[in-house]
Amino acid sequence: MPPSSNNYDKSPAAPGANATPDQWLSYLESIHPSEIDLGLDRVLLVLRRLFPRKPRGRIITVAGTNGKGSAVAAIEALLRSAGRTTGAYTSPHLHRYNERVRIDGSEISDEALVRAFEAVEQARRNTTLTYFEFGTLAAFVAFAEAGVEDWVLEVGLGGRLDAVNVLDADFAIITSVDIDHVAFLGDDREVIGFEKAGILRPGIPAVYADEDAPRSVLQQVSAQKVSLDLFGRDYQLRLPEDGAIGDAAKVHLEYRGETIRFPAGPLPVKSVAAAVVAIRNLAPQLGIAEIETTLMGLSVPGRFEQLADNPVTLVDVGHNPHAATWLADRLASMRHANQRVVAVYGALADKDVEGVAAAMASVVDEWFLAPLNVPRGLDVETLTNRVRAAGVAGLKQCESVAAAIVAARESASSGGLVIVFGSFFTVAEARDVLQGDRS
**Tens digits of residue pLDDT in 170-208:** 999 999 998 666 666 767 899 999 999 999 999 999 999
Residue 86 DSSP class: E
Q: Classify each residue of 310-331 as buried b or exposed e, where b means 16 or more C-beta atoms within 10 Å of its C-beta.
A: ebbbbbbbbbbbbbbbbbbebb
Q: What pLDDT is attached to residue 32?
A: 82
Rounded Cα–Cα distance for residues 290 and 82 (Å): 8
DSSP-derived 3-state class of residue 151? strand
3-state helix, strand, coil in the chain (%, to 5): 40, 20, 40
Q: What pLDDT is attached to residue 10?
A: 56
Q: Which helix (H) or strand (E) holds 116?
A: helix 110-124
| Contact status, residue 168 vs residue 135, Cβ threshold 8 Å | no
* pTM as predicted: 0.92
Q: What pLDDT is attached to residue 18?
A: 87
**Residue 196: closest CA among 211, 182, 178:** 178
Q: Residues spanned by CATH 3.40.1190.10 within the chain?
A: 21-295
Low-confidence ranges of the chain (pLDDT < 50): 1-9, 437-439
**Residue 112: closest CA among 154, 72, 84, 140:** 140
- Interstrand relation of 227-230 and 366-369 (parallel, antiparallel or unpaired): unpaired
Rounded Cα–Cα distance for residues 144 and 164 (Å): 15
Q: What is the CATH number of domain 21-295?
A: 3.40.1190.10
Q: Which CATH class name applies to 305-434? A: alpha beta
Residue 32 DSSP class: S
**Residue 33: closest CA among 122, 165, 131:** 131
Rounded Cα–Cα distance for residues 308 and 438 (Å): 5
Output the DSSP codes for 218-231.
HHHHHHTT-EEEEB
Rounded Cα–Cα distance for residues 405 and 383 (Å): 17
Q: Residues spanned by CATH 3.90.190.20 within the chain?
A: 305-434
